[in-house]
Amino acid sequence: AQRVTQPEKLLSVFKGAPVELKCNYSYSGSPELFWYVQYSRQRLQLLLRHISRESIKGFTADLNKGETSFHLKKPFAQEEDSAMYYCALTGSGTASKLTFGTGTRLQVTL
């Protein structure tokens, strides 16, 4: 069975501090990993996907198959980063069947 674990419900950091949102997964095969973000009163939207290997809004995430992790990182947090972040995976042939983690609320304070 596939599973995504986000161990932190809430992560509170100061503006300018580094951010790391943790995500571990369980999947027998080659998964595709994603980070979705939901800002206050907005719809869920894709932040980044591991196959793109790009940085979005200063965030990056590296897939570590050995540790089965896909942690989201940003060197300097901004107030506008405050949101709910969900890690998700999908397997081959089930491209729209996303398995989500429980989410981590990132709170950036001054």
Residues that bind another protein (CB under 8 A): 43-46, 49, 86, 88, 94-103
* Nearest one of 88, 50, 49, 57 to 75, comparing CA atoms: 57
Minimal distance, residue 23 CB to another protein, in Å? 13
* Measured distance CA(110)–CA(91) in Å, rounded: 39
* Measured distance CA(52)–CA(77) in Å, rounded: 22
Minimal distance, residue 97 CB to another protein, in Å? 5
- Measured from the CB atom, the residue of 17 and 44 that comes closer to another protein is 44
- Measured from the CB atom, the residue of 49 and 71 that comes closer to another protein is 49
Minimal distance, residue 98 CB to another protein, in Å? 6
Long-range CB contact pairs, 57-64, < 8 A, 24+: 57/81, 59/35, 61/23, 61/33, 61/35, 63/33
Minimal distance, residue 12 CB to another protein, in Å? 20
- Measured from the CB atom, the residue of 74 and 103 that comes closer to another protein is 103
